[in-house]
Amino acid sequence: METITTTTDLTFEQDIDEGLTAPLKNISSKYFYDDLGSVIFQDIMKMPEYYPTPCEFEILSLQGENIIKKLNFDEPFNIIEFGAGDGIKTRQLLKKLLENQVDFTYVPIDISQKAIEELEANMLGYLPGLKIKSIVGNYFSMIDELSEMQQPGLFLFLGSNIGNYLEEEANDLLGQFNNHMKSGDKLLIGFDLQKNPSVIRDAYDDSQGITKAFNMNLLQRINKELGGNFKKEFFDFYSHYNPLNGEVRSYLVSLKQQEVSISKIGKTYSFRQNELIWTELSKKYTIAEIENLAINNGFELVEHFLDCKHYFTDSLWTK
Ligand code: AVI
C-alpha cells in the first residue's frame, strides 16, 4: 500500500469571497467534503430516500461480470477512481475482478485524507489481496501525474459525481479525462437518470434533515477555517427539483437581514431576509444527454449498465 499526497489549490478564502459577493451568492459544493462533511455524506448514502447509492450498488454487484467482459484489456491495468469515498460500491466490482484472477492495481483518489485512510483500511479488510496505491488530492492536480502511467486504465467516476458539475464544467472535466487517456482506456461513469420528480425531490430534502445538516456544515466550515461568525439558526435549507431540465438546485436561505464577518478575509457580508446562497447542482440526465456528452468529449459508448428500476446508469465509455 502506498499513499501520495498532493497540494490542493489554496483558494477557499478567494472562492468564498467571490461567491458571497456575486449577485446570486454561492458556495461551491466541493467545500462540502471536509472531515465532518464526508461523515454526513456517508449518512446521506444510508438514508432510505437517497436511492442513487443502492441503485449503483446493485449495478456493480450484479453486473460486474458483464462490465469486466467489456473491458478487453489483455495486460495488467490500473483502476483509477476519482472521488472514491467509502468504496463500498466499488469493492463489489473489485471483488469480481479478483475472483476472476484479473491483474490490476486500484488507485483511489479523494480530497479527504481521512476518507482515503478509512477506504484503504476497509478495502484491505474486505479484499486482502488487493494492490492499492492511494492518492489524496483533487482530480485536476492529479490528471497530469496519471497520464504518465504506462499501463491501460479503467477510470471510475461513480456515484453521479458528474451531476454536480455545470454543463460547461462537465464537458471541461470529461475533455481533460479524455486528453490524458490512451486509446483503448475505459471510463465507467455514474449518471443519475431522470425519473418520477417526487422520488428525486425526496432524495434531496429528506425528512430527518441530514441533507440540511450537510449544507449547514458549509457555514460551520467557514466559521472554523476562516474565522466566520455565521449563526446556523439564522439560516434555513431549501432544495428544488426542476423536471423540465433535470436539475436539483440546493440553497441556504438567510432568515433575516444580517451581517456576517469573516476575519481571515477581513470582510463583512450583508444578507437580505430570504436571500439565497446557492450551494449545489445535482443534474439528472436522460440517456440521450449522456450519449451526447460521450461523443462531444471524444468517447465512444460501450454500454449502459442500468439498475432494475432504471433509476441510474453506470455507462462504460472507451477512448
Ligand atoms: C456527491 N454527489 C453526487 C451527491 C449528489 O447526489 O449530488 C451529493 C449530495 N448532495 C445532496 N445529497 C447528496
What separation in Å is there between the alpha carbon of 5 and the centre of ligand 1?
25
- Total domains in the fold of the chain: 2
* Shared-domain flag, residues 226 and 309: no
For the segment 268-286, the average pLDDT, to the nearest whole number, is 98
Mutate-to-test residue for ligand 1 from 160, 173, 192, 237, highest number of ligand atoms within 8 A of CB = 160
**Does residue 236 share a domain with residue 170?**
no
Share of the chain above pLDDT 90, in %: 82
Task: Among 200, 204, 210, 248, say which to mutate for ligand 1: greatest number of ligand atoms within 8 Å of CB.
Answer: 204
Ligand 1 binding pocket (C-beta < 6 A) is 44, 52, 159-161, 163-164, 204, 211, 280, 282
**Atom nearest to 164 CA in ligand 1:** 7
Q: For residue 9, what pLDDT band results from cuts at 50, 70 and 90? A: low
Q: Tell me: the pLDDT tens digits for 239-263?
A: 999 999 999 999 999 999 999 999 9
DSSP letter assigned to residue 222: H
Interface ipTM above 0.90: yes
Pairing of the two strands 235-242 and 267-271: unpaired
Report how far ligand 1's centroid is from the alpha carbon of 134 (Å). Answer: 23
Cβ count within 10 A of residue 288: 8
One domain, residues 242 and 303: no
Q: Rounded distance, CA 113 to CA 110, Å? A: 7
Same-domain pairing of 105 and 218: no
- Asked whether residue 63 falls in the same domain as residue 130, the answer is yes
| Alpha-carbon span 52 to 306, nearest angstrom | 11
Q: Does 296 fall in a domain?
A: yes
Pocket test for ligand 1, best of 38, 282, 311 (most atoms within 8 A of CB): 282
CA distances from 150 to 108, 153, 154, 182, 228 (A): 17, 9, 13, 9, 46
Annotate 270-317 with DSSP letters as a single string. Answer: EE-TT-EEEEEEEE-B-HHHHHHHHHHTT-EEEEEEE-TTSSEEEEEE
What atom in ligand 1 is closest to the CA of residue 52?
Answer: 6
Same domain, 276 and 256: yes
Is 50 exceeded by the pLDDT of residue 201?
yes
Clarify whether residues 224 and 313 are in a common domain.
no
Residues 115 and 184 in one domain: yes
Angle (CA) 85 87 92, round 5°: 155
State the pLDDT confidence band at 138, using cuts at 50, 70 and 90: confident
Taking the mean position of all CA atoms in its chain, how far away is CA 59?
Answer: 18
**pLDDT confidence bin for 6, thresholds 50/70/90:** very low
> Which of ligand 1's atoms lies nearest the C-alpha of 282?
7
Predicted confidence at residue 165, as pLDDT, reads 97
Q: Is 301 exposed, middle or buried, given 0-12, 13-18 or 19+ CB atoms closer than 10 A?
A: middle
Question: Is 200 contained in some domain?
Answer: no
Do 188 and 276 belong together in one domain?
A: no
**Residue 166 in domain:** yes
Report the nearest atom of ligand 1 relative to the CA of 214: 11
- Note whether 184 and 78 are same-domain residues: yes
Is 273 part of a structural domain of the chain?
yes
Specify the pairing of strand 25-26 against strand 276-283: parallel
CATH number at residue 114: 3.40.50.150
Report residue 87's pLDDT band, with 50, 70 and 90 as the boundaries: confident
- 85 Cα–ligand 1 center, Å: 12
The model carries a pTM of 0.92
At 111, the pLDDT band (50, 70, 90 cuts) reads confident
Same domain, 292 and 311: yes
Domain assignment present for residue 101? The answer is: yes
Q: Would the pLDDT of 154 be above 50?
A: yes
1, part of any domain: no
Q: How far apart are CA 16 and CA 27, in angstroms?
A: 6
Structural domain contains residue 272:
yes
* CB-CB contact of 158 with 188 (8 Å): yes
Beta bridge partners of 108: 81
Which pLDDT score is estimated for 147?
Answer: 67
User: Which numbered atom of ligand 1 lies nearest the CA of 161?
Assistant: 3
Domain extent at residue 159: 52-195+284-318
pLDDT in tens, 48-83: 999 999 999 999 999 998 999 999 998 999 999 998
Sheet holding 235-242, edge to edge: 25-26, 276-283, 247-254, 235-242
Q: Which helix (H) or strand (E) holds 105?
A: strand 104-110
How do residues 39-53 score in pLDDT, each as one tens digit?
Answer: 999 999 999 999 999
Cα–Cα distance list, 61 to 44, 83, 160, 215 (Å): 20, 19, 17, 31
234 vs 236: CA distance, rounded Å: 7
Does 116 fall in a domain? yes
Asked if 159 and 251 sit in the same domain, the reply is: no
Question: What is the Å distance from ligand 1's center to 282 Cα?
Answer: 6
Contact 190, 157 (CB under 8 A): yes
